[in-house]
Amino acid sequence: MQPGTLFLIPVPLADAASAKSFTPYLVDTINAVKEYIVENEKTARRFLKEAGLKTPQSELVIHDYGKHNRDSGLKEFFAGLMAGNDVGLMSEAGCPGIADPGADIVAEAHRKGIKVVPLVGPSSLLLALMASGFSGQSFTFHGYIPIDKVERAKKIKELEALAEKNQTQLFIETPFRNDSMLDDVLKACKPQTRLCIACDITASTEFIKTMSIGDWKKQVPDLRKRPAIFLLFHA
User: CA 39, CA 171: separation in Å to the nearest integer?
Assistant: 22
Give the helix ranges, DSSP H, for the chain: 24-30, 41-51, 79-82, 102-111, 124-132, 149-163, 178-188, 213-216
- Please, which residues have CB within 8 angstroms of residue 235's CB and are 6 or more apart in sequence? 134, 194
Residue 44 has pLDDT above 80, yes or no: yes
Nearest Cα to Cα of residue 96 among 146, 47, 130: 47
pLDDT tier at 185, thresholds 50, 70, 90: very high
In the chain, the N- to C-terminal Cα span, in Å, equals: 55
pLDDT, residue 84, reads 96
Q: Give the per-residue pLDDT at 67.
A: 64
pLDDT of residue 75: 81
pLDDT (tens digit per residue) in 166-182: 999 999 999 999 999 99
Task: State the average pLDDT for the chain.
Answer: 93
pLDDT for residue 71 is more than 70: no
Angle at 165 (CA atoms; ends 163, 166), nearest 5 degrees: 70
Q: Which residues contact 36 (CB under 8 A, 6 or more apart)?
A: 44, 48, 60, 61, 62, 63, 87, 88, 89, 90
- pTM exceeds cut of 0.85: yes
Q: In 3D, which of 195, 189, 197 has the Cα closest to residue 222?
A: 197
CA distance 120 to 123: 9
Confidence of residue 20 (pLDDT cuts 50, 70, 90): confident
pLDDT digits (tens, 9 = 90+) for 186-229: 999 999 999 999 999 999 999 999 999 999 999 999 999 999 99
Position 95, amino acid: C
The arrangement of secondary structure in 124-233, i.e. its CATH architecture, is 2-Layer Sandwich (3.30)
Q: How far is CA 225 from CA 148, 176, 202, in A?
A: 20, 5, 16
> Looking at residue 68, what is its pLDDT?
58
* Residue-wise pLDDT tens digits, 111-165: 999 999 999 999 999 999 999 999 999 999 999 999 999 999 999 999 999 999 9
- Amino acid 70: pLDDT: 57
Enumerate the domain spans of the chain: 5-118, 124-233
What class has domain 5-118?
alpha beta
